[in-house]
């Protein structure tokens, strides 16, 4: 492009050369010097644009490296899920161990309480569940007073202890209560 411009300037200069050759030659030299300077400016601008272009390409390649791909994101998510599952499994295992230890402790306490209860019931007198019908069918009523026992009532009324127990179907003779009315077979 600049060659055409230069050629055009040379042709114009030759046309004027017939009028005043020295002025035309001076003008032509000035035009060539201006064109040379303009070409130099354009060459500098071209170099500057090429440098900027190279910098932009470098930034673009760096930017490509700074973004994660879908595959990289999927792998990161999968790794996070694996880590989360491992943490949950560890917490679950720890919780189960704690619950197991507490259940074992409660089991020991329950067994101790049952053993204690079994020992205390072993010392109680056997509870009578069947009663004989061979007692006297006639008798009197008696209301239990404070401090009474089957033995003391039998002594007061002249009846047999076993007859009082059978007639009233008392399964635990130690558990009569004040105000309770008993039938005393053959009693006075």
**What's the pLDDT tens digit per position in 115-145?**
888 777 666 556 667 788 888 888 899 999 9
- Does the structure show a pLDDT above 60 at 11? no
| CA angle, 47 then 52 then 53, to 5° | 95
Indicate the DSSP class of residue 126. Answer: P
Nearest to 150 by CA among 179, 174, 181: 174
DSSP for residue 183? E
Q: How many Cα atoms sit within 13 Å of 158 on the Cβ side?
A: 6
Integer Rg of the chain from CA: 62
- Cα 186 to Cα 81, 131, 135, 154, 159: the distances in Å are 89, 17, 8, 10, 6
Model pLDDT for residues 45-85, shown as the tens digit of each residue: 999 999 999 999 888 877 666 677 888 889 999 999 999 99
**N-terminal to C-terminal alpha carbon distance within the chain:** 153
- Please state, as a whole number, how many other Cβ atoms lie within 10 Å of the Cβ of residue 165: 20
Q: Minimal CA–CA distance to 166: which of 185, 181, 152, 151?
A: 185
Buried b (16+ CB within 10 A) or exposed e, 142-156: bebeeebebeebbee
**Cα–Cα–Cα angle for 41, 45, 47, rounded to 5 degrees:** 120
pLDDT of 7 > 60? The answer is no
Q: What is the pTM of this model?
A: 0.35
Task: Classify 139-185 by CATH class.
Answer: alpha beta
């Amino acid at each position: 492009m600049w060659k055409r411009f230069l050629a055009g300037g040379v042709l114009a200069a030759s046309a004027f050369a017939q009028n005043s050759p020295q002025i035309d030659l001076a003008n032509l030299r000035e035009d060539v010097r201006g064109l040379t300077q303009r070409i130099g400016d354009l060459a500098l601008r071209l170099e500057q644009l090429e440098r900027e272009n190279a910098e932009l390409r470098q930034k673009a390649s760096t930017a490509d490296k700074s973004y994660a791909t879908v595959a990289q994101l999927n792998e990161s998510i999968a790794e996070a899920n694996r880590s989360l599952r491992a943490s949950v499994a560890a917490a679950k295992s720890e919780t189960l161990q704690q619950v197991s230890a507490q259940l074992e402790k409660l089991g020991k306490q329950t067994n101790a309480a049952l053993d204690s209860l079994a020992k205390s019931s072993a010392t109680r007198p056997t509870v009578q569940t069947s009663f004989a019908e061979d007692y006297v069918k006639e008798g009197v009523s008696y209301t239990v007073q404070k401090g009474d026992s089957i033995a003391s009532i039998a002594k007061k009324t002249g009846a047999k202890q076993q007859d009082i127990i059978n007639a009233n179907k008392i399964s635990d003779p130690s558990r009569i209560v004040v105000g309770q009315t008993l039938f005393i077979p053959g009693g006075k």
